[in-house]
Structure 1
Amino acid sequence: MGDAEKLVSFDELGRADLHVDAVYEGGRSGNAGDDPLPRLLRVSNMGGFRYRGTLAALEMVVLTSSMADANWPDEIDRETGVFTYYGDNKQPGRALHATPRNGNELLRRIFAAAHEGEAGRRTVPPIFVFGNTGQWRDVMFLGLAVPGTSEQQVAEDLVAVWRTADDMRFQNYRARFTILDVPLVERAWIEEVIAGDPHTPRAPQAWMEWVGKGRYRSLKSTRSIKHRTKVEQLPAGAEDLAIIREVQQFFEGRPHDFEKCAAAIARLMLPDITELDLTRPSRDGGRDAIGKLRLGHGIASILVDFALEAKCYALDNSVGVREMSRLISRLRHRQFGVLVTTSYVDLQAYREIKEDEHPIIVIAAADIVGLLRRHGHADPTAVRSWLEREFSAPSVEH
């Protein structure tokens, strides 16, 4: 989970405030009693969904995640304050809401209440989000959350998505929450929440603004200009490495056929692409595809041109300054570039595009794996099936 500025010991949990990005230490006995959350918030010691009260009258909800489930990739976007969380129907064999710990039913209820005006929002309990650190049972506090976001339509913040496992189809929820601009949650308010009275003068202002007005004041963290290292661009786990090798080997010796795949991957990252046309292999002028991205909605939207470059390289073969300069030189005024590679951009090339502020999106090997997983292609077998279904036909020059 990264380094934390603050560490709260196991003995201090019962009287501790909640600081965003602080780590709350679990016990070291090696059993379920090590879980810090029962001491910290007086909830149970099991599961990703924990709550006080009943489903019909929730008093507090605690969401926990390892952020490491590749099939169900919970994720926090610190730049926007949006937290994506998947429900608890993660295996086939049950209906969407028929989970043992009622996690999906809980999601259904709090999102429905959030859309019922102020009266409904007043029934939505405080939601505390934690991530496992990977060290014993220690957890990091990620923030105080509310259902939905200011950017998404009502029908988009809680969506039932389909997955396939063991040749069986089933559904699970994908929920989007907003982490509120509340860097500190005081213990005095936590005790009031536990007592069943969250709407007090001690309640965080951003939370009360959401309850009263439906305003989302998110906790945003501006990213500094940064070039990613090789390690950050390449997959880490064995299965992730197997996924990217499936892609690279599928197109081995057929680099121009990879361009169609790169275009599909770009659409996964930028779903508002409206046009994307492959150029002739012998006449691409430094661009494997040219396209248009829609900004805005409806008649008020505009189209922005971009150029795409695809590099199907082995993991140990980086994209260097020469290839990157080739793409940069072909960008016209008010265009941006997209580089899709099954490897990584070397340090010098990445540093130059960041420091010189070239408008180029780098979709490296690790990004490809993440995009494929988020769109249901979660293991090498599923990726191979997708590749064979979509890209087996030989490319046609045009």
Structure 2
Amino acid sequence: MAETKLFPYNELSDADLVVDAVYEGGDANNLSAALLPDLLGVGTGGGFRAKRCPTDSQKYSYVVLYTTFSEPDWPDDLDRESGIFTYYGDNRDPGSRIHEKDGNKILREVFHNLHSGQRQTIPPFFVFTKEEGWNRKFRGLAVPGDRLENQSEDLVAVWKHNGGDRFQNYKATFTILDVDRVSRAWISDLQEGKFLTENTPDVWAKWKNTGKYTPLQADRTKDHRTKVEQLPTTEKEKTILQTVYSHCKNDSNQSRKFEYVASALFELMDSNVHQSKVTRQSRDGGRDAIGTYHIGSIGDSVDVEFALEAKCYKPSTGVGVHDTSRLISRLRHRQFGVFVTTSYVRKSAYEEIKQDGHPVLVLSGGDIAKILQKNGFTSKAEVKNWLDSQGPA
């Protein structure tokens, strides 16, 4: 296993930005140990840390986006396979309107310029995440938008409530570009207000000039996920999953209740899922729910059938080959399967699905928590209310 590259604190001022490298903070137990001021000349606080441009060419030389990935109400996310980075604005508590915070002003301006073709005014974004102590990890060079995202959806205002007060914040979509290293020479150019120089990464220059995205995509190195990868990792996710499990476990017909919940979760995960219907117990043919996945919206379209199997197991109890084989054996020609469980799929069963090429999607306990969290169900009460609404029409 390759070791993560570490840039020591005393070398920050000359360091390049290397994807997934860790940059060391100071030893003090206060903001003087923060490393981003020394590394990039930006401030110590907040998720948005902008470097002002010294020329009149544009407002900012670059913007640092910082996230801890640990705020359940604001689930910033980096999809390493697609290179898509989802980032929430800085109006994260009641008391302010959506555009009163500086970070949201940056988002509004940048995405307006993106949609109106004024990419020349958009600065590069450097994404950093929290590591142990004051250490920070560089996640990549980002630009606003996504080559596959509708312009009406790459920046959206979302409502939240806290203590009875409602407020809005932005949810923004960025693309991490296929750049493994940002040179110190280009950082110096940017600080002087020079954006397109011999030191500029080619894919950023291409995006700037043509609008074409070249995302940093990373394929999985193995087919199946481990137990740890399938289960919740944060306390908030564990609470969400336990709420789902307890709700269905305590029902007089545990398996039946979870069938409705599992079917609704799949619809919640992907808006292309249509006509998901829980089957009658006496005539289910070994399938707990069936439905169609809709492909295409303009002109011609195709509906692909799927069959769903739901297993409400204690999160620590793994699903074995017997359970997954039941779904696999009942898939019809041109159908795909969806296996939903509050637990995880054991290695032998997962390997059989992947190595034999069975068209089965696994939604494990950790996936369930993330789906609900991503759709705004972040507290125990919100999850419980959603669960209460699931069941036969």
Give the TM-score of the pair, scaled to structure 2. Answer: 0.94
Counterpart of 2:128 in structure 1 is 130
* Deviation per residue, 1:309-352 (Å, 9 max, x gap): 11112223322111100000111222211111111112211121
Amino acid at match of 2:44: N
Counterpart of 2:25 in structure 1 is 26
Counterpart of 2:141 in structure 1 is 144
Secondary structure at the residue paired with 2:121? coil
Amino acid at match of 1:68: S
Amino acid at match of 2:19: V
1:3: Cα distance to partner? Answer: 7.3
Question: Structure 1 residues 262, 3: CA separation in 2 closer, same or farther (over 3 Å shift)?
Answer: farther
Secondary structure at the residue paired with 2:152? helix
For 2:300 and 2:3, locate their aligned partners in 1 and report how far apart those are by CA, in whole Å.
Answer: 44
**Contact map agreement 2:72 2:236 (CA 8 A) in 1:** no
1:149: Cα distance to partner? Answer: 0.4
Question: Structure 1 residues 158, 25: CA separation in 2 closer, same or farther (over 3 Å shift)?
Answer: same
Counterpart of 1:5 in structure 2 is 4
Task: Note if 1:272 corresponds to 2:272.
Answer: yes
Task: Note if 1:45 corresponds to 2:44.
Answer: yes
Amino acid at match of 1:217: T
For 1:242 and 1:116, locate their aligned partners in 2 and report how far apart those are by CA, in whole Å.
Answer: 43
1:89: Cα distance to partner? Answer: 1.0
Of 53, 64, 67, 1:62 maps to 64
Secondary structure at the residue paired with 1:298? coil
- Structure 1 unaligned blocks of 5 or more: none
What RMSD in Å do the two structures reach over aligned CA positions?
Answer: 1.8
Counterpart of 1:250 in structure 2 is 247
- Structure 2 unaligned blocks of 5 or more: none
Of 75, 78, 81, 1:79 maps to 81
Secondary structure at the residue paired with 1:173? strand
For 2:63 and 2:235, locate their aligned partners in 1 and report how far apart those are by CA, in whole Å.
Answer: 34
For 2:2 and 2:31, locate their aligned partners in 1 and report how far apart those are by CA, in whole Å.
Answer: 25
1:4: Cα distance to partner? Answer: 5.2
For 1:97 and 1:86, locate their aligned partners in 2 and report how far apart those are by CA, in whole Å.
Answer: 13
Secondary structure at the residue paired with 1:235? coil
For 1:208 and 1:287, locate their aligned partners in 2 and report how far apart those are by CA, in whole Å.
Answer: 51
- The within-5 A match list for 1:162-173 is 162-173=159-170
**Which one is further off, 269-278 or 188-197?**
269-278
Task: Note if 1:357 corresponds to 2:357.
Answer: yes
* Deviation per residue, 1:257-291 (Å, 9 max, x gap): 22111111001222211221211112211211111
**Contact map agreement 2:236 2:378 (CA 8 A) in 1:** no
1:112: Cα distance to partner? Answer: 0.8
**Which one is further off, 2-11 or 42-51?**
2-11
Secondary structure at the residue paired with 1:13? helix
For 1:107 and 1:364, locate their aligned partners in 2 and report how far apart those are by CA, in whole Å.
Answer: 34
**Contact map agreement 1:225 1:354 (CA 8 A) in 2:** no
Counterpart of 1:158 in structure 2 is 155
**Contact map agreement 1:4 1:23 (CA 8 A) in 2:** no
